[in-house]
Amino acid sequence: MNETINGRGISPVRYVSQIADSDENEKTINHATDTLVYALGGLGEIGKNMYCYEHDDEIIIVDCGVMFPEDDLLGVDYVIPDYSYLVKNQAKIKALIITHGHEDHIGGIPFFLQSVRLKEIYAPRFAKALIEKKLEEHRMLRSCKIIEIDSDSRVRTKYFNIGFFDTVHSIPDSLGVLINTPNGRIVETGDFKFDMTPVGRNSDYQKMAYIGQVGVALLMSDSTNSSVPGSSISEKKVAQAILEQMRKTPGRLLVSTFASNVLRLNQILEAAVACGRKVAVFGRSMENICEIGRKMGVINIPDSSFITGNDLNTLPANQICIVCTGSQGEPMAALSRIANGTHRWIKILPGDTVLFSSNPIPGNDVSVGGVINQLTRVGANVVTNSPLTSFHTTGHAPQEEQKLMLNLIKPKFFMPNHGEYKMLVQHCETAQETGVPADRCFICANGDIVVLRNEECFIANERIQTDAIYVDGNDASGLSTSVIKDRKILAENGLVAVIVTIDSRYNKILCRPSIVSRGFVFIKDNQTLLKEAELVVYEALKRKMQQRTTFGDLKNCIRSSLEPFLYKRTNRNPIVIPVILNQKAAIAEIQSKTGARRTRKES
């Protein structure tokens, strides 16, 4: 169980390894001379990446992502970081720098711009196009200037000198970031892997090695695959496997993959053209990525190779390739609708083959399995990725590639990021294998402040308040946790409304309360229970109204009498909503008295 030490929620083990035997005064931040590093999102979770670097009156932000909600966050569209600290200090913000164009790194930008005035966003070429499309959809395209950067670009402020280096990921134009500060150099890798035969631009090994030779105080590195041993397979191998499957499939081939994996999408389209197939693309995100990829020259497929839904029935089955979203079993994605027979254009035919060029994200196994079962039930031949087929490879570095990054950069201190807590711990163990001392590895949470002072690092005894903000629709103000709690109660236990009619003039109940329930119990089968509940509320209100009382007191009386009764009888806690109706004559009397008091005050 975690304990709170000096106001910081950290475990005793972590406290001993990182803070013990130190003078607490040394952990106090000198805001004029120290460089501060902290995350508002991305630590202890996969998503909403946002890392901040602060020195005196300047703040540099790297990435601004969203996290997609779990199933228990009912009605929530996105989860974003709490921007309160940055709103309060927005005069200090000098730049927002984007490492690449995935949603967990750029998806929060429209919400951030609702809260903070920002002059410039620096983004690599493909990410810039995706951000412009996103801001156009939110009607915010003119709210901020977006400046294109590459590995040769430089961003300079009074205290920060920022450079970049090429990395390989599952999207083009992915960059790592070198941040020169008055107290030492920081490297933030962004999402990366090492691929010796990549599709597209390769990692800049020479620049990374040079940065390591010059000296790096702190390395912040992607931890997503820190528990995966070995190295990843090359995208070229995946391309070959997809081409072979395309050639040997006799009928229609439906391929589902991550829409954000632009390089994979291009490989699928190129394989289809090489096998003489026409391509139909379905799914809004897939269509957007395909359109932007073609504009940017990442996808080089002629117009003549694309067909629409109307053309599907005009071609032989062996000349058709359908590319669609839904590789994670999302209920409203194209592949799920195809499996359920509700898609407008596509029905599974005997002889169709469905290829999953992806692996289920942890937590999505059940939904993916459901889609696969349904596709098989309606007659499709389903092919999934396995070590024998190689239809998918990760975009994140496994352990051996993480070790290569650590050996190239040679950091004095190490802070794993972009990962759940277990991933951060495992990445620290990997760093120690490469020679980083255990007491120089920091496992941080969102809001923890790592202080860089004269090439040395420590975790401060201060924190920045960070919370997850739940977004329903496009409102960046978010939903309160009480709203989420109420939605969970409604989903699990339902609602009970208690309607009571009174005459406030005589403090009298005019008739027995009436109870209406939704999602709690089936009314026809539980009439006796509801009648008993009405009687419980009636007796409690009669006792309460023998004394002087208020409408608030009556509502509390209804809840306090009904909730224990319902739980005792059903073991469920529905939301109880009291509705108190006052007689017309009583309301008129109250209004006349209120009007008279107001007249006296005005005179």
* Cα-based distances in Å from 115 to 155, 265, 485: 24, 35, 25
Which residue type occupies 554?
A: L
The string of DSSP letters for 373-410 reads HHHHHTT-EEE---TTT-----SS--HHHHHHHHHHH-
Q: Does 553 qualify as catalytic in the annotation? A: no
Q: What is the DSSP-derived secondary structure letter of residue 304?
A: G
**What is the C-alpha separation between 285 and 325, in angstroms, rounded?**
8
Minimal CA–CA distance to 151: which of 166, 134, 130? Answer: 166
Which one of 104, 166, 173, 222 is the catalytic residue?
Answer: 222
128-142 b/e (C-beta count within 10 Å ≥ 16 → b): bbbbebbbeeeeeee
Catalytic residue among 396, 418, 427, 448: 396
- Over the Cα atoms of the chain, what is R_g? 30
396 is catalytic: yes
Angle (CA) 270-398-235 rounded to 5° is 10
Q: Which of the 8 DSSP states describes residue 193?
A: B
The Cα–Cα gap between 396 and 220 comes to: 14
C-alpha–C-alpha distance, residues 348 and 2, integer Å: 52
Partners of residue 180 on adjacent β-strands: 161, 185
Rounded CA separation 513/500 (Å): 5
- Distance between CA atoms of 159 and 179, rounded to whole angstroms? 10
- Which residues have a Cβ under 8 Å from the Cβ of 25 and sit 6 or more positions away? none
Handedness of CA 296, 142, 260, 317 (dihedral sign): negative
Q: Which residues are catalytic?
A: 222, 396
